[in-house]
Amino acid sequence: MKGCLYYSSAEAERNNGFIDDLIGSANRLNMELTVMVDEEQPAKDSDFILFRDRNPLLSAKWEAEGFRLFNRSEVNRIANDKLRTYELAAMLGIPAVPTQKATSVNDLASFPIVLKTRDGHGGHEVSLCGTKEEAVFFFNEHAGRQLIFQPYIESNSTDIRVFMLGNEVLGAVKRMGKNSFKSNYTLGGSVERYSLSTTEKKEVQTIAKALKSDYIGIDFLLLPDGSWLLNEVEDPVGARSLYITHDVSPAAELMQYVKRKLEDEVLG
């Protein structure tokens, strides 16, 4: 099997360790995996593309050309749009953080409020605004971008990220923020292994099945009473916290999954 691993050049540099693990894992499975970045194009005889970027238009283009992508372009489109993610949750009956479009400051009825760009990721382009003046600053800072707003929900800066490989849980971590309402591990927070309840497992599997996703992260705010609310879906999802907390190679698991799926699709 011959495949391509696509990143933007900036993200490829940040994720060089994961890339090395993916390539090594592919080699051990007698699979060829070639890295491509930015404007590079996949070889016509590629059996698959591991798409590790936030660019639904590009992934849809390659799908239209007949390439098998992991994840599908539709997953990339929904996961990188916080409003679409919330709409999916509402349709599936999954408890989620209420999310609405923010076209102007006049849409915000009360404070504090959380403002985000619809396509931001990694805890960036997110602001907890306690006043109208702070909200105006956010709007000006992100002029021309599509924004959403959410109520501020107390979670003690704690959330749960669940890593899904197909419809199965690869692992889950609890992330706790440090000196911030954001819990992102890459922003300086701490992380520990987390065990899902039966109900929690059922909900993440419902989301993965609806998306027909291959490898995603699903993030939930963990509330003080122990319940949770869906916050975001991550595609592509970073695996640093999973490597740290679990005795597993996400890269090896992903490549085994890709090989198995391709073989099943040929037979099916």
Q: Are 39 and 247 in contact (CB under 8 A)?
A: no
Asked if residue 2 is part of any domain, the answer here is: no
178 and 225 inside one domain: yes
Q: Are 33 and 178 in contact (CB under 8 A)?
A: no
Q: For 149-171, write each residue's pLDDT tens digit.
A: 999 999 999 999 999 999 999 99
Q: Are 4 and 43 in contact (CB under 8 A)?
A: yes
159 and 235 inside one domain: yes
Asked if residue 260 is part of any domain, the answer here is: no
b (16+ CB within 10 A) / e for 84-111: ebbebbeeeebebbebeebeebeebeee
Asked if residue 62 is part of any domain, the answer here is: no
For residue 96, the 8-state DSSP code is B
pLDDT, position 122: 75
The secondary structure element, H or E, covering residue 65 is none
167 and 135 inside one domain: no
- Measured distance CA(11)–CA(3) in Å, rounded: 19
DSSP H helices in 15-110: 16-28, 56-64, 73-79, 82-92
User: Per-residue confidence at 189, pLDDT binned at 50, 70, 90?
Assistant: confident
pLDDT, position 130: 96
124 and 166 inside one domain: no
Asked if residue 6 is part of any domain, the answer here is: no
Asked if residue 242 is part of any domain, the answer here is: yes
Total domains in the chain come to 2
Say which CATH number the domain at 220 has: 3.30.470.20
> What is the value of pTM for the model shown?
0.93
Query: Over 80: is that where the pLDDT of 188 sits?
Result: no
- Measured distance CA(176)–CA(115) in Å, rounded: 20
Say which CATH number the domain at 132 has: 3.30.1490.20
Domain range for 203: 155-251
Asked if residue 141 is part of any domain, the answer here is: yes
Q: Which of 151, 170, 192 is the last residue of a domain?
A: 151
Q: For 36-74, write each residue's pLDDT tens digit.
A: 999 999 999 999 999 999 999 999 999 999 999 999 999
CB atoms within 10 A of CB 184: 22
SS3 of residue 193 by DSSP: strand
Q: What length does the chain have? A: 268
Cα 22 to Cα 34, 68, 128, 252: the distances in Å are 10, 17, 37, 7
